[in-house]
Amino acid sequence: MFRFLLRRLALTVPTFLALMFVTFMMIRLVPGDPIEVRRGERGISPERLAELRHEMGLDQPVWKQFLDYVWGLLHGDFGVSIITKNPILHEFFHLFPATVELSVCALLFATLVGIPAGVIAASRRGGLYDQTLMGIALTGYSMPIFWWGLILILIMSNTLGLTPVSGRVDLVKYYYPQVTGLMLIDSLISGQKGAFLDALRHLILPTIVLGTVPLAIIARMTRSSMLEVLEEDYVRTARAKGLPPYRVIGIHALRNALIPVVTVIGLSVGSLLAGAVLTETIFSWPGVGKWLIESIGRRDYPALQGGIMLISSFVIVVNLIVDLTYGLINPRIRHAR
């Protein structure tokens, strides 16, 4: 197990190096410079531009800038935002909890609905239920997030008045300090009556929107994996023993069928964070996705570099954990050379 862990960890090193290089270079390939981009019609005098570029170190050769950046990272220094002058780490960790809260809810929603749906579909293969469910899953998978979010707001909030439009909590009724950054927990800590339920209500729509694509993937994956397992000899044996169907499917088959599903869930963390960018924008959710989008517009190099590095590290770590869990539930992987 320990060797397995070491091997996986060693593999992340080149990934990180490549990441550093790619994020650094990509941003600089985008035309436009952080200073000029901020200047409207008025423009900027060449002297002042040179002065500001010098202050930000942008007048250095690119390789030098890159080495400085890597050197900084090795010392845990992600730099400061060009726009707000705040340290990147501070900005990131101020916003990241909101993204985590939303992503965890979306993933829970996707898993808790997706797995049972897939199992039921598999057990009634070819039936009306199976076909309807898989049809919906396909639609969900191909749903453009932006459109889906706005439609839900229009129906659920504006027409039916069931959920709030956007934000994390009712700003007029409730006001409490950000302690953990997770609104559900902060609202409980605050002790303000109704705050927790209100925060929960605010989570409903973004959770559904962000969870739709992973839900579709998980449901489809569970179904196909389940179908495969149901063909196995041991399932037939279990049935022949006269075990009730719920035990055959729910215990014998499901445990093995879940192995590929776990991988899919782990992999979807990456796409969840990508989806969070749009979801956060629609629902005014103060997370890192929206922050990154804004940073692109402003050519805030340090914010983009730092933000992408941190998010990627997070995804890498999650994938690592998934690989390890995978090893745990499937000994064949663990012992493979």
Partner 1 sequence: MKRITTLASALLVSTMLAAGGAQAKTLVYCSEGSPENFTPALNTTGTSLDAARPVFNQLVEFQRGTTNVVPGLAESYKVSPDGLVITFKLRKGVKFHSGVNGFTPTRDFNADDVLWSFNRQWKEDHPYHKISGGAFDYFNDMEMPASLKSIEKVDDYTVKMTLNAPNAPILANLAMDFGTIESAEYAKYLLDKGTPEQFDQIPVGTGPFQFVDYQKDAVIRFKAFDGYWGGKAKFDDLVYAITPDATARYAKMKAGECHVMGYPNPADLEAMGKDKSITLMKQAGLNIGYLAMNVKKPPFDKKEVRQAINMAIDRDSILKEVYQGAGQKAKNLIPPTIWSYNKAVKDYEYSPEKAKALLKKAGVKDLQSDLWWMPVQRPYNPNAKRMAEMMQADLAKVGINVKLVSYEWGEYRKRLQAGEHQMGLLGWTGDNGDPDNFFFLLGCTGAREGGQNISKWCDKKFEDKLQQAKKLSEKADRTKLYEEMQVISKEEAPIVTIAHSTVFEPVSKKVSDYKVSPLGRHDFYGVDIAE
Question: Site for partner 1 (CB under 8 A): which residue of 168, 220, 223, 252?
Answer: 168
139 binding partner 1? (CB under 8 A): no
Should residue 177 be labelled a site residue for partner 1 when binding is judged by CB under 8 A? yes
The reply to whether 206 sits near partner 1 by the rule CB under 8 A is no
Question: Cα–Cα distance between 9 and 324 in angstroms, integer?
Answer: 11
The secondary structure of the chain, three-state, reads CHHHHHHHHHHHHHHHHHHHHHHHHHHHHCCCCHHHHHCCCCCCCHHHHHHHHHHCCCCCCHHHHHHHHHHHHHCCCCCECCCCCCEHHHHHHHHHHHHHHHHHHHHHHHHHHHHHHHHHHHHCCCCHHHHHHHHHHHHHHCCCHHHHHHHHHHHHHHHCCCCCCCCCCCCCCCCCCCCCCCHHHHHHHHCCCCHHHHHHHHHHHHHHHHHHHHHHHHHHHHHHHHHHHHCCHHHHHHHHCCCCHHHHHHHHHHHHHHHHHHHHHHHHHHHHHHHHHHHHHHCCCCCHHHHHHHHHHHCCHHHHHHHHHHHHHHHHHHHHHHHHHHHHHCHHHHHCC
- Cβ nearer to partner 1, comparing 281 with 305: 281
15 lies in the binding site for partner 1 (CB under 8 A): no
Q: Cβ closer to partner 1: 129 or 176?
A: 176
Using the contact rule CB under 8 A, the part of the chain among 19-27, 128-136, 214-222, 286-294 near partner 1 is 286-294
Which of 140, 164 has the CB closer to partner 1?
A: 164
Report the site for partner 1 in 252-281 (rule: CB under 8 A). 281
Q: Which of residues 93-132 bind partner 1 (CB under 8 A)?
A: 94-95, 98
Residue 230 C-beta: closest distance to partner 1, Å: 45
Note whether 172 binds partner 1 by CB under 8 A: yes
Q: In terms of CB distance, is 33 or 59 closer to partner 1?
A: 33
Q: Using the rule CB under 8 A, is 52 a contact of partner 1?
A: yes
Which one of 24, 58, 88, 91 is in contact with partner 1 (CB under 8 A)? 91
Binding-site size for partner 1 (CB under 8 A) equals: 50
CA 34 to chain centre: 27
* 121 within 8 A of 219, measured Cβ to Cβ: yes
158 lies in the binding site for partner 1 (CB under 8 A): yes
Is 29 a residue that touches partner 1 (CB under 8 A)? no
To partner 1, the closest distance from the beta carbon of 21 in angstroms equals 23
- Name which position in 12, 60, 65, 157 contacts partner 1 (CB under 8 A): 157
Q: Does 85 bind partner 1 (CB under 8 A)?
A: yes
- Of 291 and 327, which CB lies nearer to partner 1 in the complex structure? 291
The smaller minimum CB distance to partner 1, of residues 133 and 184, is found at 184
- Taking a C-beta distance cutoff of 8 angstroms, is the pair 23, 47 a contact? no
Q: Is 160 in the site for partner 1 (CB under 8 A)?
A: no
CB of 288 to partner 1, least distance (A): 10
Give the C-alpha distances (Å, rounded to integers) separating 257 from 90, 126, 164, 221, 286: 42, 19, 38, 9, 37
Q: Are 267 and 326 in contact (CB under 8 A)?
A: no
To partner 1, the closest distance from the beta carbon of 154 in angstroms equals 7
Residues of this chain that bind partner 1 (CB under 8 A): 31-33, 36-43, 45-46, 48, 52, 55, 83-85, 91, 94-95, 98, 150, 153-154, 157-158, 161, 164-168, 171-172, 175-179, 281-284, 286-287, 290-291, 294
